[in-house]
Amino acid sequence: MIPTYVAGAIIGAVIGYFSYLFVMSMLEPRLRMTDRSKTPDEKADFERRIRLLRTIFLVVEVVGLGAAGFLIGSSYQQ
């Protein structure tokens, strides 16, 4: 039997990952509609910013909800 805090962390991380997929599937197309790049350098900078946003959001969602799951799981006794 795995400890409740480990189960909570895993469940929180999985929920965070699916939340990331859901939000990014709606956000990224809208961000791409705002692209007004005229040169390849501007386009590359825009793509770099999108990748950075995706990475930061993934880390915040998975780590944040994983930590919340850990805290919730650790509050339960076996």
Q: Residue 30 CA to chain centroid, in angstroms?
A: 17
Q: 78 pLDDT band (50/70/90 cuts)?
A: low
Asked which of 1-5, 7-11, 16-20, 55-59 is least confident by mean pLDDT, the reply is 1-5
Q: What pLDDT does residue 1 have?
A: 87
Structure tokens at 24: 């990014």
Q: How far apart are CA 33 and CA 62, in angstroms?
A: 27
What sign results for the dihedral spanned by CA atoms 56, 61, 62, 67?
A: positive
Query: Is the CB of residue 4 less than 8 Å from the CB of residue 53?
Result: no
Residues whose CB is less than 8 angstroms from the CB of residue 66 and which lie 6 or more positions away in sequence, other chains included:
9, 10, 12, 13, 16
Q: Residue 20 CA to chain centroid, in angstroms?
A: 4
**Range 27-31 average pLDDT:** 96
pLDDT digit string, tens, across residues 32-72: 999 999 999 999 999 999 999 999 999 999 999 999 999 99
pTM flag (> 0.85)? yes
